Structure 1
C-alpha cells in the first residue's frame, strides 16, 4: 500500500461543489494558512466514465488517504451510489472521517448526516477554515488512539473554538 498522506473529500458534486472549491481556494491562497493533500488530484476522471471505472479510481485514491472529509449538505444523506459507498469504503479501510456541516452546525446534524456514519466515531464540525484545519491536524491521531468500543459522534468543545477565535 502507498504512503497515506492525502485527504479524500466526499461531497454532493451537484449541490456542494462550491464548498469543495472553497477548500481548494483556501489551499491555493498563499495568504491563508490552510493545507491538505487532495486525493482528487490523482488520476482525474472524465464525465463519461462508468460507475465501475469511477469506483475503481476512487478506491485507488483511498489507498493513499490518511483521512476523509464528508461535506454534509442538504441532500448528502440521500446519496447512496457514491457518497454512501465512499463512506463505507473509508470505514472498511479504517480511515478517520471528518463530517463538515455546510450549515455551520458544530455537532452532528441529524437532519442531514448520512445514516451510515451517525453512530460511528466521526468528528462533526462546521464549514469554517480554522476548525477544518484543526480537525485535519488532530482528529486522525485521536481516531487511531481510540478503542474499538468508542462509538458515536464526536465534537469539539467550546474551548477549542474559542482558542481558534471562532
Structure 2
C-alpha cells in the first residue's frame, strides 16, 4: 500500500458547473487556509497527488482516481452542508471506499456551526452511505464544525497512522471546541 500521508477531502459537487454554487467552496476555503502565509493550517491534500479530473470525466475515470487518492490517504474529511444530497453524488462512493475498503477514519465537518455536540441531530445532512456506516458501526468518525483550529486538530489527531476515533459518533467536548474556536 502507498505511503498514507494525505488527507482526502470529500464534498458534494451538487451537480453544478459553477463551483461557487456547491460545497466545493468549502474545499476551496481549506486550500486557501493551507496556502495562507499567516495561517497555521497545513495538511497534505490527497487531491494534489494524482492527475486532476473534472466532474465531466467518465465515471470509471473518477472512481479510479478516487481509489488512487484514498489509498494514499491517512484520513478523510467529509464536508456536510445543508445542501449535501442523500444520494446521487460521488461523495457516497468516496465514503463507501474510505470506510469499507481503506478503513480510513472520517472527519465529518459541518458547515454553519460553532460546536458539534450531538451529531445524530445533524443526520439530515448525512448521505445514505454515511448513515449506513454510522448506524452499523463500521465508520470511525469524529464530528466537528467547519472551523479552522478544530479541523486542523482533528486532521493531526486522527489517522490510520495514529489514533482512530473510538466509534461512529465521536465529538470533542464542548469546552475543548470552545477553546479551539477562541484561538
Common fold: TM-score over 0.5: yes
SS of structure 2 residue aligned to 1:34: coil
Number of the residue aligned with 2:52: 44
Corresponding position: 1:10 with 2:10? yes
Number of residue pairs aligned between Structure 1 and Structure 2: 161
Q: Which runs of 5+ in 1 are unaligned?
A: none
Tell me the TM-score normalised to structure 1 length: 0.88
**RMSD between superposed Cα atoms in Å:** 1.8
SS at match of 2:109: strand
Paired residues of 2:12 and 2:89 also in contact (CA < 8 A): no
DSSP-derived class of the 1:12 partner: coil
Report the counterpart of residue 136 of structure 1 in structure 2: 155
Residue 102 of structure 1 is matched in structure 2 by 111
Structure 2, unmatched stretches of 5+, are 15-21
Deviation of 1:47 (Å): 4.5
Q: Which residue in the other structure is 1:59 paired with?
A: 67
Structure 1 segments of 4+ aligned residues over 4 angstroms from their partners: none
- In the TM superposition, 1:83-94 aligns within 5 A as 83-92=91-100, 93-94=102-103
Q: TM-score when scaled to structure 2?
A: 0.80
User: How far off is 1:77 after superposition?
Assistant: 4.1
